[in-house]
């Protein structure tokens, strides 16, 4: 890993000085090579093919999860066809090494769902002397990791109908009823984040967009759960709750910029009739968020989101402290108590008392690569 950390400061200096008149594909190629250098090349704490990530607010701990690795594979695969031929081969290599690891995160009993952490044996909260020994914190498989893995591993397409049924089995009202949402949505048969039988139902608008992305990408027959999920998302958007209380409607992502990014990624790829009325609202809200004081990485994903919604934003200028910007960016937060939260106590979610932020430099570079390609397409 030492040569990677010697390489990255030089690379970030190169990015900071990159002019707008340069070929964006050359920059994308450099970003891709940097991503490849970060990917683990041998088995150790991180298996070969895993992208390192860290968790924590102050003292960071190395965290071996499949979420960021599958998310990077998903991002690169979506932009692969717009890269140089040699870069497309590198994407194939990166993704092949990533996909090889999926089996280590597969359901402990062999079902075709996947966990955030390794499962056989369970390695939850790695590098924690306390949490890793408390069975209570051994989380069940989740729809977020599972759908991302299905979207990036073509061998799993044959199981798509099975997963669709599995998602419905764990949707709201199938066996239990959600309590951690607004009262008006408690009777909606929308998809939940979790697969575990003992885990409370939880709605997360970002996770639900990933589920719908999986459904539409595989051209699966829509059912009552898809309709209910779409209805909840539409109501949250048109009522403004999706940004005003983003930390509550998306307990795993929390930030308005990240919620908008997920919605734009879904609607930029698929035309969903029930959500067409939301396009102008989302576009206007992205523009409004871009006018606020954001971190650089938030500006990156908001700009990408606006392009996906059909408009071109002002080109971004890379800051001199780009490496620090990527180090502090939090895309995902684990909030273990969010499924038990109540609307009257949503301020607890906002305070992030129980939230654990996760960082991944390689994913930041993947987001930059995505931005460069989509900005100059």
Neighbours of 293 (CB within 10 A): 6
Whether the Cβ atoms of residue 298 and residue 255 lie closer than 8 Å to each other: yes
CA distances for 10 relative to 5, 13, 35, 38, 248, angstroms: 9, 5, 14, 14, 39
Q: Which domains does the chain have, with CATH numbers?
A: 2-375 (1.50.10)
| Residue of 83, 151, 78 lying closest to 304 (CA atoms) | 78
Dig out the tokens for 71 from the structure. Answer: 């998310």
State the pLDDT at residue 340.
59
CA distance 332 to 167: 22
**What is the dihedral sign for C-alpha 28, 34, 37, 39?**
negative
Low-confidence ranges of the chain (pLDDT < 50): 2-3, 19, 21
Can you give the pLDDT at residue 306? 98
Closest of 147, 76, 73, 124 to residue 334, by C-alpha: 124
pTM for this structure? 0.93
* 3-state SS class at 77: helix
Q: Which pLDDT value is given to residue 19? A: 46
C-alpha gyration radius of the chain: 20
The DSSP secondary-structure symbol of 373 reads H
Dihedral-angle region of residue 110 (phi above 0 means left; psi in -120 to 50 means alpha; beta otherwise)? left
Q: In the prediction, which pLDDT does 196 show?
A: 86
Burial label for 351, CB within 10 Å (0-12, 13-18, 19+), is exposed
Residue recorded with tokens 């008392």: 353
3-state secondary structure (DSSP) of residue 178: coil
What was the pLDDT predicted at 123?
87
Say if residues 83 and 25 touch (Cβ distance below 8 Å): yes
With a CB cutoff of 8 Å and minimum separation 6, the contacts of 145 are 66, 67, 70, 105, 114, 115, 116
Backbone angles phi, psi at 124, to 5 degrees: -80, 150
Token code pair at residue 78: 């979506």
Helix (H, G, I), strand (E, B) or coil at 142: strand
- Residue 117 DSSP one-character state: B
Interval 55-76: pLDDT, tens: 998 889 999 999 999 999 999 9
Q: What is the mean pLDDT of the chain?
A: 90
pLDDT of 290: 97
């Amino acid at each position: 890993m030492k040569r990677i950390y010697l390489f990255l400061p030089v690379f970030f200096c190169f990015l900071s000085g990159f002019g707008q008149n340069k070929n964006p594909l050359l920059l994308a190629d450099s970003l891709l090579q940097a991503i490849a250098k970060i990917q683990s090349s041998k088995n150790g704490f991180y298996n070969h093919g895993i992208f390192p990530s860290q968790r924590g607010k102050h003292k960071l701990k190395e965290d071996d999860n499949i979420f960021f690795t599958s998310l990077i594979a998903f991002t690169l695969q979506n932009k692969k066809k717009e890269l140089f031929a040699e870069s497309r081969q590198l994407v194939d290599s990166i993704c092949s090494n990533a996909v090889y690891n999926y089996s280590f995160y597969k359901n402990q009993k062999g079902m075709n769902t996947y966990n955030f952490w390794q499962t056989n044996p369970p390695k939850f909260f790695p590098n924690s002397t306390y949490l890793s020994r408390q069975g209570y914190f051994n989380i069940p498989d989740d729809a977020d990791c599972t759908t991302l893995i299905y979207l990036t591993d073509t061998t799993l397409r044959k199981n798509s109908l099975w997963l669709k049924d599995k998602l419905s089995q764990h949707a709201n009202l199938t066996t239990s009823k959600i309590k951690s949402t607004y009262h008006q949505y408690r009777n909606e048969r929308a998809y939940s984040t979790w697969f575990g039988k003992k885990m409370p139902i939880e709605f997360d608008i970002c996770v639900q967009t990933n589920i719908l992305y999986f459904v539409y990408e595989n051209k699966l027959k829509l059912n009552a759960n898809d309709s209910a999920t779409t209805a909840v998302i539409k109501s949250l958007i048109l009522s403004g709750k999706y940004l005003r209380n983003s930390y509550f409607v998306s307990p795993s992502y929390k930030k308005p910029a990240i919620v908008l990014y997920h919605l734009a990624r879904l609607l930029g790829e698929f035309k969903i009739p029930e959500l067409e009325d939301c396009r102008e609202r989302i576009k206007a809200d992205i523009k409004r968020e871009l006018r606020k004081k954001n971190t650089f990485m938030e500006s990156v994903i908001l700009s990408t989101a606006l392009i996906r919604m059909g408009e071109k934003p002002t080109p971004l200028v890379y800051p001199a402290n780009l490496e620090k910007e990527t180090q502090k960016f939090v895309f995902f937060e684990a909030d273990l108590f969010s499924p038990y939260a109540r609307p009257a106590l949503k301020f607890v979610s906002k305070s992030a008392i129980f939230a654990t932020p996760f960082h991944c430099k390689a994913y930041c570079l993947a987001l930059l690569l995505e931005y460069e390609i989509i900005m100059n397409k």
